[in-house]
């Protein structure tokens, strides 16, 4: 409970700071500024639900302004925001799940959630809140009914040469967020689509890792981030990021993890579309009830390319030095590398995104740190005017850090999820979707993080969903 209260206080402080700055900037508008400038907000890398509003679908995109060395994933651009508004909604999702590893019977769980998206725009700032919360009931004898919460909020402020960004991403989930819900869209807070507040997608390093299915069970996940960007010249800028994240399990014997991250980057725009960057990043991981502490120092060279509405590309890599409070196999320091990249591409009726990340991770509640390779890919295609198909695949390999003797020898986890589904709008305010998700995990030795052992994890899920939202209520 102390940990949850700490999260809520932190989120409330970030929201209050954002509201104060937003109101302060709004009061400084001149009387002639009746039309606010377009908000510099970013949409998710891949839209899960079709926007049924023809007018909104024709909105001109504004160029993406995210920093190459910051915490935010680049996008294809953002639609212009002419008004501040809020949108309520409801969603009903039912999932049929096979027994894990084929032992037992299929279970059915029904999620009934309320959705809310809020967007407040002024000349120099944008405040966004996306929230989905409710509960689910299940016929399982081992997984009790519970509640479900997913919250994202951000505040961006642009003033002179400064760009400030405050973000908080909170979730209370019954299972790992890695592939949760697949293409059903239940993992996206708020009403989704173009009416969502548009929480900026976070780079993999700034979110607590949950890519191991062995740590199944209810958990609290929170990432709070503050980012400041200062323009040195029209082409060059400095970006500083500070974040704090937690992964806290409320049942079983999984390992609670805290992480603190600081980074400083330099961006230089070599052309209208291309940018080079140099990034230093520190990551520190701490574990409840365990004296070990892992620190990571990395220096990355980065390259980015953006073409509004068509392409967002990013590539980075460089050396990293890992240090350990307690020696691992006699060593307190190792030298390795970190690397990654992502690409989002849109062409006529389709949208494709792909990302890769290699480096030190928290361990997903199973390991005291892990060396992780993670790949995510998404593809959406407009079949007809009414029907959309989408698919997504994720793969993660987690290996122990230098042979961490947590279980006596080195381990390697391979986790995979894949999902495919179709959806169609029902009028302008509702959407129907059906999807299938497959989760699989293989490890070279048994592990018992939740009190049960097994080398493999296999589960099938079938999701049927209905989403509804009201028309936007204009605030100003």
Q: What is the pLDDT of residues 98-144, one digit of tens each?
A: 988 777 789 999 999 999 999 998 888 999 999 999 999 988 777 77
Write b or e for each residue in 235-266: b if 16 or more Cβ atoms lie within 10 A of its Cβ, otherwise e: eebebbbbbbbbbbbeebebbbbbbebebebb
**What pLDDT was estimated at residue 448?**
52
**What pLDDT was estimated at residue 59?**
58
Q: Give the per-residue SS3 of the chain.
A: CHHHHHHHHHHHHHHHHHHHHHHHHHHCCCCCCCCCCCCCCCCCCCCCCCCCCHHHHCCCEECCCCCCCCCECCCCCEECCCCCEEEEEEEEEEEEECCHHHCCCCEEEEEEEEEEEEEEECCCEEEEEEEEEEEEEECCCCCCCEEEEEEEEEEEEEECCEEEEEEEEEEEECCCCCCCCHHHCCCCCCCCHHHCCCCCCECHHHCCCCCCHHHCCCEEEEEEEEEEEEECCCCEEEEEEEEEEEEEECCCCCCCEEEEEEEEEEEEECCCCEEEEEEEEEEEEEECCEEEEEEEEEEEEEEEEEECCCEEEEEEEEEEEEEEEEEECCEEEEEEEEEEEEEEEEECCEEEEEEEEEEEECCCCCCCCEEEEEEEEEEEEECCCCCEEEEEEEEEEEEECCCCCCCCCCCEEEEEEEEEEEEEECCCCEEEEEEEEEEEEEECCCCCCCCCCCCEEEEEEEEEEEEEECCCEECC
**What pLDDT was estimated at residue 198?**
79
Q: Which tokens in the block code for residue 399? A: 């290996």
pTM of the model: 0.84
Q: For the chain, which residues score pLDDT lower than 50?
A: 1-58, 405-408, 449-454
**What pLDDT was estimated at residue 451?**
36
Of 174, 179, 154, nearest to 164 (Cα)? 154
**What pLDDT was estimated at residue 20?**
41
**Domain layout of the chain by residue ranges:** 2-28+52-474
Q: In this structure, which CATH number among 3.30.200, 2.40.160, 2.60.120, 3.40.50 belongs to the domain 2-28+52-474? A: 2.40.160
């Amino acid at each position: 409970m102390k940990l949850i209260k700490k999260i809520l206080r932190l989120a409330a402080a970030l929201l209050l700071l954002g509201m104060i700055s937003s109101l302060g900037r709004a009061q400084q508008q001149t009387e002639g500024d009746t039309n606010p400038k377009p908000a510099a907000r970013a949409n998710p890398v891949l839209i899960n639900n079709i926007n049924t509003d023809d007018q909104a679908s024709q909105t001109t995109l504004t160029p993406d302004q995210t920093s190459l060395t910051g915490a935010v994933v680049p996008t294809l651009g953002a639609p212009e925001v002419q008004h501040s508004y809020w949108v309520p909604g409801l969603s009903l999702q039912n999932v049929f799940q096979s027994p894990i590893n084929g032992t037992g019977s299929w279970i059915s769980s029904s999620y009934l959630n309320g959705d809310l998206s809020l967007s407040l725009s002024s000349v120099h700032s944008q405040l966004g809140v996306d929230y989905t919360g409710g509960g689910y009931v299940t016929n399982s004898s081992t997984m009790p009914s519970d509640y479900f919460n997913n919250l994202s909020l951000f505040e961006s402020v642009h003033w002179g040469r400064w760009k400030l960004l405050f973000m908080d991403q909170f979730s209370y989930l019954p299972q790992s967020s890695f592939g949760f819900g697949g293409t059903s869209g239940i993992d996206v807070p708020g009403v989704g689509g173009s009416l969502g507040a548009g929480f900026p997608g976070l780079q993999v390093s700034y979110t607590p890792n949950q890519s191991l299915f062995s740590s199944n069970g209810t958990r609290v996940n929170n990432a709070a981030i503050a980012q400041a960007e200062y323009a040195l010249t029209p082409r060059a800028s400095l970006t500083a990021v500070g974040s704090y994240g937690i992964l806290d399990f409320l049942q079983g014997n999984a390992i609670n993890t805290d992480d603190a991250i600081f980074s400083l980057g330099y961006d230089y725009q070599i052309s209208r579309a291309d940018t080079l960057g140099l990034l230093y990043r520190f990551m520190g991981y701490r574990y409840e009830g365990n004296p070990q502490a892992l620190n990571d120092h990395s220096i990355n060279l980065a390259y980015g390319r953006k073409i509004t509405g068509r392409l967002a590309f990013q590539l980075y890599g460089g050396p990293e030095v890992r240090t350990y409070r307690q020696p691992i196999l006699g060593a307190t320091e190792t030298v390795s590398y970190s690397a990654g990249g992502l690409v989002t591409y849109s062409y006529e009726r389709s949208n494709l995104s792909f990302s890769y990340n290699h480096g030190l991770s928290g361990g997903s509640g199973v390991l005291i740190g892990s060396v992780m390779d993670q790949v995510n890919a998404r593809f959406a295609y407009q079949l007809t005017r009414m029907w959309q198909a989408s698919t997504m695949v994720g793969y993660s390999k987690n290996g122990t850090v230098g042979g961490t003797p947590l279980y006596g020898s080195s381990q390697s986890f391979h986790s995979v999820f894949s999902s495919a589904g179709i959806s169609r709008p029902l009028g302008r305010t509702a959407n129907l979707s059906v999807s299938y998700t497959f989760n699989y995990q293989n490890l070279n030795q048994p592990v018992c993080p939740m009190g049960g052992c097994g080398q493999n994890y296999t589960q099938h899920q079938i999701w049927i969903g209905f989403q509804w939202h009201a028309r936007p209520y204009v605030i100003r």
